[in-house]
Structure 1
Amino acid sequence: MKNLTHKRSDFFSKVFNSYKAEESAFITSFEVYLDKGQENFKHTVILFGEETVKEYDIIAIFKMVKAYYISKSVLEFERTKKYSVLLKGYLFYVYYQVMHYNNDKFAPSILGTDLSLLLMFTLTYFPDETDKIGKQLIKFLIFHKEKAKYSIESTGDFGLSNIVHLSSFLAGHYQKKTLSVQIKSFCSNSIEPCYLKAIENLYSNDEKVVGEWVDDMINFHLRNSKNDLKLPFNNEEWQYFPIEILSMLELRVRKGLKINFIKNKLLDDFIPLLGNESPIELNDDLKKLRSRLS
């Protein structure tokens, strides 16, 4: 059976090819922003069969091109198995959220689960970017709590017993104690059993015990990888890249504990690469972007 990550990479191939065919002008505008700081652009688009000139600010441009950079990194990772390539691609996702934080906005369709997963990602691989992602997560959780008081759309768990909870644990583990406490204050009193088992047995030397909590986390990931906003992994970026599992396994590797006994198609491409490429050297585009957002 085709590797699950490979299967989902077909989606990224379609996205990448669509940018080559139709959206290259937006990529050019984004590059102008990186080089010169220009933040407003005009593009000719087809609406209802007619050419129309539309104005775009840099946030709208970034929204258009974020998927391009992530898709490009996924496809290159599939070819080369260079983990740093994938990590740098997902860093564009982080900076997209930082741009919204800097402008006191939330990205369209963003949820607490997305920001929690990005927090895990930054804590694990780009700790210098954790501060603003953590603050944006807290802002969103406050917003969501207020919205839940009057909006029927806000019914549901939305990760408060699982992904958000796990991000609180990881924040505490990386000595972000205040952030950890703040996040936990919004969480459900109970935690998803597979995550609780993982937290309690993170550094176990018993391969059977570790294998069980990893399998349980994988099953939870796959079960919740659907196009449903109430589920933690409701978009292809997180369905492909199980950062919540990899973040936990990285902690084991950094303690000198084994993970090479773990075998699963969701993780097979990642397991051999953990613990090998940190810190990550940013490429020129990411350095320019980081400077623009500072």
Structure 2
Amino acid sequence: MHIDTARRRALLAVLAFAACATTALAEPAWPARPITLIVPYGAGGNVDVMARWIAPELATRLGQPVVIENVSGAGGVIGTEKAVRARPDGYTLLLSVESTVVIAKMVTPSTVRYDGLADLVPVTLLGAQPLALVGKPALQPKTSEALYADLKAAPGKYSYASSGVGTSLHLGGELLKQRGGVDMVHVPYRTGVQIVSDLSGNQLDLAVLPLSMVIQQARAGKLRVYGVMAESASAAMPEAPPLASVPAWRGADVSVWQGIFAPKGTPPQIVAQLHAALAQVLANPGVRRNFEEGGVTPLGAGPKEFAAFLQGEDAKFGAIVAKGNIKAE
């Protein structure tokens, strides 16, 4: 009895090993088929444009097509949920931003059914650009120092626009209010393009916008850039000073960024291979030129650095949301 049992166990072990070996031989090395890159926004937007800068180069380096799938809706939440629920096999990726990955769960907790930090694996931080505080051309203060003094002296005198309640632009404006101890009236818009148009027409006082959206209009004298929400000036517009030149606004740094993610459970070796290929893509002179001409600083931080960056973003935005009791529901 004992001998038969031992023989049966040995036979089962051999069969199991053979099955594993056969499966390993049957599975081709990754990637063996096209890869889907989900963009959780509509075609033609900034995120979609960046995806189209990098997808052909990534396909060349991986030896497989990279197919962009635009899944828009709910401010990027629907597309992100689709990526979160995809098989973690390296064949579905997500190109997303701070508002969808970090902020959405904070400001709409009852409708966002994912945790961007827990349910996604950071692969590569592609690029970033600072937010800018901009004003209508007819606004009396000409410098950030003069504007801050006016804001401090006249609470509620000025309004500022953003792309909507609970977006990173809104939270950037709230951070300026919280750090500076000033009061501005928030005016939510649906699109940044309309904000720029209304600013240029002197229909709005101030706005918080990505720097790239306002460079041309500022240089044409159609609006004024008071400064960027960063420690130093941006290479895209070096003449725009950092808002940190105002002591009360030091540390009020907010950038909009773009990164590549994979579903939780994606094998580490695939994540590493993906990052290596994306690092090569970002080193391509044509890709870098596209980024820089679009006002975006190419970064290329890998999985560990990107994960640490996300923790910092989570803490920063979480504090702004909690202090301002901000909800988008």
TM-score range, shorter chain: under 0.3
TM-score, normalization by structure 2 = 0.24
Instruction: Flag the structure with more relative contact order, 1 or 2, with Cα contacts below 8 A and sequence separation at least 6.
Output: 2
- Higher Cα Rg, which structure: 2
TM-score, normalization by structure 1 = 0.27
